[in-house]
Structure 1
Amino acid sequence: MTTTFPAPASASGPVGTPAAAEQVRGGRAWRGFGLLGPRRGRHELAAEQLELLGLPVGDDGVVIGTDAQGTPAVLGLFRPTPFDVVLVGGAWTAQVLALRTVGMGARVAVESGRQPLWTPLVQGANTGQQSITLHAVGRVPPQGPSVHSPVLVIRDCGVRPPHGRVTVAPWQAVVTLLPYPGPTTERLMTHADVVGVQRVSPDEARQIGRTMNLTPADVEALPGLPDGVTLWCTRSSRTYVTTQPTDPEAGLLGTARRMD
């Protein structure tokens, strides 16, 4: 496809005509565009040919599993705007997310009151450089995120997490891990950009359903979700994603599980 710029007001003919070429021979360049380049055929498609183009759009991010059609499901964590995620589920899924985030070249900071649960992951992932750092609750230092060094902060601070010192920022996403819904869950979900929900009780499913505007079928399905399956949703869209560990992930973290 071709993007065509309008001719300048002083031109007496369209691009490529003798009048336009005369402007160049006279030493005058197009303001803002420089001298005219070589005259070659345009890269154009007819309207009926557009569907033949297969352009990847919106597929940059962390692969968190596969959807119901077996298509890779991608969570675009790193953006020039803040991105906030709430995950009601097990630490296993958050740990897989941490490993895959490191695999795409980003840094991970874990804030947790369950440090023994995260220590093996940190030790196994940090081979040669500090890709994942582990911090006590309220002790996460500023991470200095940038487009060249994005950061994921995982907050594993219980069902009632305190306000964090490090929050969402451009190129710094925050995942708040909740083992089950609590008194602050509705507020956290309301302000989140995307919410992940794993297996919960029927009462918890109804609570989440009201907050996230889930359908009755989704509310009914939540208590029976298998290990490794997460409903990722906003208030207007949703998809079920199955996370299967790779061999290295399984060797470090074991098989998928909802409870830790």
Structure 2
Amino acid sequence: MSTPMMPRQTGMPGAGLGRQQPQGGLGQDGGPATQPRHVATATDTGMIPVFGRNDEADQESPHPRRPGFGLRGPRHLRHRVALDELAAVGVPLGDDGVVIGTDAQKQPAVLGLSRRTAYDVLLIGGLWTAQVLALRAAGTGARVAVETGRAHVWTSLVRAAGAEQQCITMHDVGQVPSLGPSSSSPVIIIRDCGMKPPRGRVTSAPWQSVVTLLPYLSPAAPRLLQTSSLVGIQRVSPDEAAHLSRTMRLPREETETLSTLGDGVTLWCTRKDRYYSLTTPTDAEAGLLGTARRLD
């Protein structure tokens, strides 16, 4: 424990600390005067030394004092974990993004939509999945802009998400303004522009991803398939599955499966990787959007 600091002396040197008696004189009780243990002088620093401490022993101590330990109060053991016990206290962390459902192993299927590079996603599927994606993306803190020509099917969702907070905004086709995306405020644009969506006024950019919804394959599909970084495919006809198989290099088994997928099941694929996800609505989503469905 450090030596307490005394306030600096004022007035006459030695005031309040006792006065030195002449050597051999008498004290106030008539007895022999004793030399005070500390007498203030003009050069006094204001520190009162503590007698009886073994300073050399403190310096030679193999365990130097550490701030925060050894203070007055109850003694507690330090929190220590052996190296082989770290796994028991570890917290599992998954990917950062939008949880779109569960995969074949019942693990969360995550779409990383907020990226430092431009990112385009094509969803060949139903409106229900696109709306669930919009709600969950807004739940991660992203700003969602919906570009649509059928505002009536999005109005209730925008209101439920919080129209005053504008976490989900709705715009006419070709009327999406510049939204100023950044790492602290990413933007996701969902384009629901029918079978032949025009080229967007606002395109993908760093921290701004674009998700284009196509109900079925259309003349615009080849261009979108070529430029998209990720493609989501829901139930399609056998002819559409054959076309997608050639473009996305799908094996025969998965090509035959595309025409039999259940509601809420999506095959997410790139040219190299692919996995299935099952989107199950929460109670709030089911109350707002209903159950999963492929057809609008």
TM bucket by the smaller chain?
0.7 to 0.9
Residues 246/58 of structure 1: CA separation in 2 closer, same or farther (3 Å cut): closer
Partner in structure 1 of residue 142 of structure 2: 106
Partner in structure 2 of residue 94 of structure 1: 130
Deviation digits for residues 151-182 of structure 1 (CA, Å, limit 9, x no counterpart) = 10000111111000111001001000000011
1:195 aligned residue (184, 207, 231):
231
Deviation digits for residues 23-51 of structure 1 (CA, Å, limit 9, x no counterpart) = xxxxxxxxxxxxxxxxxxxxxx99x9999
TM-score (norm 2): 0.69
For residues 149 and 171 of structure 1, the distance between their equivalents in structure 2, rounded to whole angstroms, comes to 8
Q: Is residue 227 of structure 1 aligned with residue 263 of structure 2? A: yes
Deviation digits for residues 86-113 of structure 1 (CA, Å, limit 9, x no counterpart) = 0000010010000001111111000011
1:216 aligned residue (252, 270, 276):
252
Unaligned runs of 5+ in 2: 1-81
Q: Give secondary structure in 2 for the equivalent of 1:195.
A: strand
Aligned residue runs from structure 1 range 116-127, under 5 A: 116-126=152-162
Q: Give secondary structure in 1 for the equivalent of 2:104.
A: coil
Deviates most, 67-76 or 124-133: 124-133
Task: Give the structure with the higher percent helix.
Answer: 1
Residues 237/51 of structure 1: CA separation in 2 closer, same or farther (3 Å cut): farther
Letter in 2 for 1:132: I
Q: Which runs of 4+ in 1 moved over 6 A?
A: 48-55
Residues 202/171 of structure 1: CA separation in 2 closer, same or farther (3 Å cut): same
For residues 93 and 112 of structure 1, the distance between their equivalents in structure 2, rounded to whole angstroms, comes to 15
Q: Is residue 84 of structure 1 aligned with residue 130 of structure 2? A: no
Deviation digits for residues 43-90 of structure 1 (CA, Å, limit 9, x no counterpart) = xx99x9999996867600000000011000000000111111000000
Query: Higher relative contact order at CA 8 Å, sep ≥6: structure 1 or structure 2?
Result: 1
For residues 208 and 227 of structure 2, the distance between their equivalents in structure 1, rounded to whole angstroms, comes to 16
Q: How large is the Cα RMSD of the aligned pairs?
A: 2.1
Task: Count residues with an aligned counterpart.
Answer: 216
Cα shift at 1:227: 0.5
For residues 126 and 69 of structure 1, the distance between their equivalents in structure 2, rounded to whole angstroms, comes to 34
How high is the sequence identity, in percent, across the aligned residues?
63
Partner in structure 1 of residue 212 of structure 2: 176
Aligned residue runs from structure 1 range 30-109, under 5 A: 59-109=95-145
Q: Give secondary structure in 2 for the equivalent of 1:141.
A: coil
Unaligned runs of 5+ in 1: 1-44
Q: Is residue 139 of structure 1 aligned with residue 175 of structure 2? A: yes
Deviates most, 113-122 or 198-207: 113-122
Residues 123/54 of structure 1: CA separation in 2 closer, same or farther (3 Å cut): same
For residues 212 and 260 of structure 2, the distance between their equivalents in structure 1, rounded to whole angstroms, comes to 23
TM-score (norm 1): 0.78
Letter in 2 for 1:153: I
Cα shift at 1:127: 5.2
Cα shift at 1:128: 3.9
Partner in structure 1 of residue 243 of structure 2: 207
Partner in structure 1 of residue 286 of structure 2: 250
Residues 50/183 of structure 1: CA separation in 2 closer, same or farther (3 Å cut): farther
Larger Rg: 2
Deviation digits for residues 128-158 of structure 1 (CA, Å, limit 9, x no counterpart) = 4111111111011111111111110000111
